[in-house]
Amino acid sequence: MVRRTLLIVLAGGQGSRLDVLTAGRAKPSLPVGGTYRLIDLMMSNAANSGLSDVWVVQQYEPHLLTDHLAGGRPWDLDRSQGGLKVLPPYQGQATGGFATGNADALNRQARLIAAFDPEVVLVTSADHLITIDLAEVVDAHVERKAELTVVTTQLTRGQDARRHSLVDVDDRGRVTALRAKPDDPPHRCAATEVFAYDPTVLLDTLARIDRGEQELGDFGDALVPEILKGGKAYAFNHRGHWRDLGNPQSYLDAQLELLRPRPRLRLDDPAWPIRSASVPRAPARIEESARLDGSWVSSGTTVRGSVVNSILGPGVTVEAGAEVRHSVLMDDVRVGAGAKVARAVVAEGAWIGARSRVGAAQARHPVLVGAGRRLRTDSEVPAGTHLDPARSDAQSFAGGG
């Protein structure tokens, strides 16, 4: 059934836990899987779910992300009526400074939401690895006459429940509590940061909190707890893949999971295509001296060395005698002859000098190399090191797709 649904994608997060990788860029603009950006997952979910009204709310360093969204063209959202609307940060009469959290960011769009008059408001994050039919979420929300629907998932053994917001659900499927990153997790049922709201309840609750003494902050601070008091909040159990790429280890490991023979999430699933505005390049060049094993090699790359269980973004060069293992190299990275890179995330345009040693294959914490950084010949970079980018602005990513 076609419903008047508004999807609001919150894409203003700084992603500070990713440190040097998000210096000068919004987290949703980070590459994933070589040729995609994080925001491509949710934008493709919208397109594949038949949603035609998508608003992207920005705040931190919006320039790179705005360029990538390309007016919604990759997702068929470049329309005369409806389609993609990019909402940049602004300061109005009633909004001093920047938003203090995702609920506050939503409240700043309250007048626009009311004017749109949707039947359902979907609110999602732009920086998680998830494929989900959002139309199914909307249908379940309406059929239950819910005031709030929280999309939940069961965390896997490798995911630390203390880093997630956990959801208490009773035997009738009702959400009774939201626990923000509890020190002693009672279960492993987590919120995926996909929410469906009754518009009237959402706007009334935002206004009531805004008039009171409590700050809106994030969803779990006041908005969701207040709606839960009405007893009409339900869980929607998502059985598919979901990963939060909130820290360096999860950002690397979630992508390496894509390389498994049978990954839970496929970026090349013809039934659920992931679309992107990435700039096309010439095919990859693989020289005779190259060795490739269980890796993704994007267009425009040149491989003369060894690449094992790694993802190479567009334009990467791996010179003869170099080794790249269990790593993600973003656009236009260059690995010099004889260098060894292991358990590392190297941002756009960085150069690894010849015979350098970066990271360790068995290390838990990866090395992070910021955009445009150049390491001298014979450099030694221990596991867990974070190296600042050459510049903390959008020009550092000029070579990216």
* Residue (of 260, 258, 134) closest to 196 by Cα position: 134
Is residue 356 within 8 Å of residue 378, measured between CB atoms?
yes
Could you tell me if residue 265 is inside a domain? no
Domain that holds residue 358: 285-397
Q: Span 382-398, mean pLDDT?
A: 76
* HEC readout, 128-139: EEECCCHHHHHH
pLDDT of residue 95: 55
Instruction: Looking at the structure, tell me whether residues 211 and 301 fall in a common domain.
Output: no
Instruction: Looking at the structure, tell me whether residues 92 and 10 fall in a common domain.
Output: yes
pLDDT of residue 399: 45
Could you tell me if residue 277 is inside a domain? no
Rama region for 145: left / alpha / beta (φ>0; ψ in -120 to 50; rest): left
Percent of the chain residues topping a pLDDT of 70:
94
Q: Span 243-265, mean pLDDT?
A: 93
Instruction: Looking at the structure, tell me whether residues 172 and 120 fall in a common domain.
Output: yes
Instruction: Looking at the structure, tell me whether residues 319 and 223 fall in a common domain.
Output: no
Here the CATH number for the domain that contains residue 137 is 3.90.550.10
pLDDT of residue 93: 47
The number of folded domains in the chain is 2
Query: What is the value of pTM for the model shown?
Result: 0.91
Burial of 1 (0-12, 13-18, 19+ CB in 10 A): exposed
pLDDT digits (tens, 9 = 90+) for 123-159: 999 889 999 999 999 999 999 999 999 999 999 887 8
Assess whether pLDDT exceeds 80 at residue 390.
yes
